[in-house]
Structures are given as C-alpha cells and as structure tokens.
Amino acid sequence: MIHVLDPNWQNQPFPPVEQAESEPNGLLAIGGDLSTARLLNAYRAGIFPWFTEDQPILWWSPNPRMVLYPDQLKISRSLKKSLRNKPFRATLDEAFTQVMLACAAPRKDQQGTWISPEMVAAYRKLYLEGYAHSVEIWMGQRLVGGLYGVALGCVFFGESMFSIERDASKVALVHLTHLLQARSFRLIDCQVYSTHLASLGAEEIARSRFCNELDRWCLQESSLRGML
C-alpha cells in the first residue's frame, strides 16, 4: 500500500518503512511537500524523496540500503595518483547551488533529471539553515566536480555528485570522508547500489540495520560548519 501524504501537514509522521513496496523497491508514500520539517523527518526515518518533474513527490526507503562507513573508504592506486598529481582544490559550502545545478545537468546515461527547480529551492533552504552541505572540487577557478547532501547528527545523507574532470567526484568523496572522520561521523548514506560507490568501499546493509543506526547516530551532536 502506497500512503498519501497531506501537503498541509508538514510534521505528518511517515508510515513505517517496513510498509514500503518491494517493487518498485522502496516506494513508500506519495505527495506532501518538500518543506524543511518534512525533509528532516524523512531523513531521520531512513526515507528520501526522488521523482521526476512530470511526477508527484515520491518518497522511498529501499531495502537493502547502500552505505559507506567512513573508515572503510577504498582509494585505488589510480585515484591516489589523481589526488597526488592533479591540481585539484577542495572547498566546503562555497558553491552549494552551483553544485546542485551541475548535478542536475543532462548526462549521457539518463533522460532528464530528478533535480528539479523545486528540489533546488528546497535543498538550498536546508543549506541556508545549516543542514545541507556541498563539497566543491576546483581546478583554478573552474568547478570540475562535487557532491551535496544532508548532515544530521553523525550521519551524512549523500544526494548526488558530478564530475567533468576524471576522478573529480571521487576526489570530492575522499575529501568529504576525511571531513566526516575529523568530526566523528559514523555513516554516509548512499541510498542505492552502484558499481561506482561499491568501488569506493560502499556496501549494502539491511534496511532494518540502517534504520537502527539512524536512531542511534542522528541524535549525536556534530557539525560540518567551519571545516576546511
């Protein structure tokens, strides 16, 4: 059963994630809005929005869940070479909207984008309120890669990344992971499986375990503000 959310009730509780559909994997609810209160409630419960511009808001909690434990990050020999030899410069929260728009740009392997103007506006509000963050990778003054997501307690919920120079998105993840380790973050949510993330050390875990870890670590105090 797919639950319908009330767009006028921003603090409406989400249904239990165990009620999500198995096909399509993780679809739990439809409707509502992208208010800060609803988005934060969703992340704390292991739920995230994903929908295209021609769809209503769809809320997901897939099983299993793809995660990266910061101390399990794998850096390949070729990535170490890029980190050592390429003139990459990393920053935090200096170009959040620019990163989101770059993530929304058309890609060869997909039609359209799920990062609509509505999503950009909602996450920019999260950024201004201190919940959303971006890592930017520069070559000189040119933005060549980056990622963005939401930080709650000791958990970082990754949303999207982009790269226009080889390895630039991977370099962004390396820098993010080092920042998270410095602030004792325990978990990076990667949402669903991809070979790209698996190559960097991400793994799939049961949704029940993921939600248990959120209950524990989203309540911890931590922050990325003031880093880099």
Q: Each residue of 91-139: pLDDT tens digit?
A: 999 999 999 999 999 766 655 578 999 999 999 999 999 999 999 999 9
Are β-strands 48-49 and 27-31 bridged in parallel, bridged antiparallel, or unpaired?
unpaired
Q: Looking at this protein, which amino acid is placed at residue 137?
A: I
What is the model's pTM? 0.94
Match domain 3-63 to its CATH number in 3.30.70.3550, 3.90.1170.50, 3.20.20.220, 3.40.640.10: 3.30.70.3550
Beta strands in 46-141 (DSSP E): 48-49, 58-60, 65-68, 89-92, 132-139
What CATH number has the domain spanning 66-217? 3.40.630.70
Confirm if 133 and 183 have CB atoms less than 8 A apart. no
Confirm if 170 and 73 have CB atoms less than 8 A apart. no
Q: Each residue of 176-216: pLDDT tens digit?
A: 999 999 999 999 999 999 999 999 999 999 999 999 999 99
